[in-house]
């Protein structure tokens, strides 16, 4: 459905711009990414609103996206699975961030531990590639590692400055979003997503066993 819609819009754009037919596929691919992301975000926001966890979920989502774009990491192979995994993950983290109450002491201990482990993970693994795109250039990898650690440090400073101005549940929600972004850039997450996709594909095939 998404590809069909993207193809239709791409053909319309190509005709109006009088572009070469070769560019239709490029337009379609870009539209699939844009529309797919837009549908996911709209679904997450509407569902979070119905669950009364909208603010916490938005904080989780923004924090996740902020780091995800740098870290890279595992992705589902088809949009349907990506929609489910992304939507469920953000809504679950948003719900946890809204419902779990932590004292400032424990919250900042968690923040400190998360920062330390994230820096270690950045040095060891970041950026994580996908099967279609692996970043192997050492200079590029070093640049992304430095950018990630700088972003982490900047995020920690912002959190510290806001600690007396915003509710602790929003700080916790931001922490969950960052943890989620780093989790999906671990080797372990690749195995989880792979097994989860097999199960989801099994369900959508009506319970028929697939050859994998």
Q: How far is CA 39 from CA 12, 16, 159, 205, in A?
A: 21, 25, 29, 23
| Residues 57-81: tens digit of each pLDDT | 999 999 999 998 888 877 777 777 8
Q: Is the CB of residue 180 less than 8 Å from the CB of residue 89?
A: yes
Q: Is pLDDT at 207 greater than 50 in this prediction?
A: no
Q: Residues with Cβ < 8 Å from 193, sequence gap 6 or more?
A: 74, 75, 76, 85, 184
DSSP for 91-138 reads HHHHHHHHH----HHHHHHHHHHHHHHHHHHHHHTPSB--SS-----H
CA distance 21 to 5: 17
Residues 158-173 pLDDT 10s: 999 988 888 899 999 9
Question: Per-residue confidence at 210, pLDDT binned at 50, 70, 90?
Answer: very low
Q: What is the SS3 string spanning 17-68?
A: HCCCCHHHHHHHHHHHHHHHHHHHHHHHHHHHHHCCCHHHHHHHHHHHHHHH
How many DSSP H helices and E strands does the chain contain?
A: 8, 0
Q: 199 or 179, which is more confident?
A: 179
Burial of 121 from C-beta contacts in 10 A (0-12 / 13-18 / 19+): middle
And the tokens for 108?
């900042």
pTM equals 0.81
């Amino acid at each position: 459905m998404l590809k069909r819609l993207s193809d239709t819009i791409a053909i319309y754009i190509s005709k109006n711009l009088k572009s070469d037919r070769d560019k239709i596929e490029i337009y379609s691919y870009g539209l699939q990414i844009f529309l797919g992301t837009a549908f996911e975000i709209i679904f997450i926001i509407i569902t979070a609103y119905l669950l009364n966890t909208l603010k916490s979920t938005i904080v989780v989502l923004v924090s996740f996206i902020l780091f995800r774009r740098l870290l890279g990491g595992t992705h589902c192979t088809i949009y349907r699975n990506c929609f489910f995994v992304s939507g469920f993950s953000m809504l679950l983290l948003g719900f946890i961030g809204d419902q779990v109450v932590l004292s400032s002491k424990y919250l900042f201990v968690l923040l400190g531990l998360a920062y330390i482990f994230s820096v270690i993970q950045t040095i060891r693994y970041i950026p994580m590639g996908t099967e279609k795109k692996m970043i192997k250039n050492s200079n590029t990898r070093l640049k992304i590692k430095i950018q990630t650690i700088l972003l982490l440090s900047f995020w920690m400073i912002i959190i510290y400055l806001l600690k007396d101005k915003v509710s602790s549940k929003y700080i916790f929600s931001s922490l969950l979003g960052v943890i989620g972004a780093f989790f999906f850039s671990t080797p372990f997450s690749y195995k989880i997503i792979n097994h989860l996709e097999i199960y989801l594909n099994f369900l959508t095939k009506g319970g028929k066993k697939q050859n994998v």
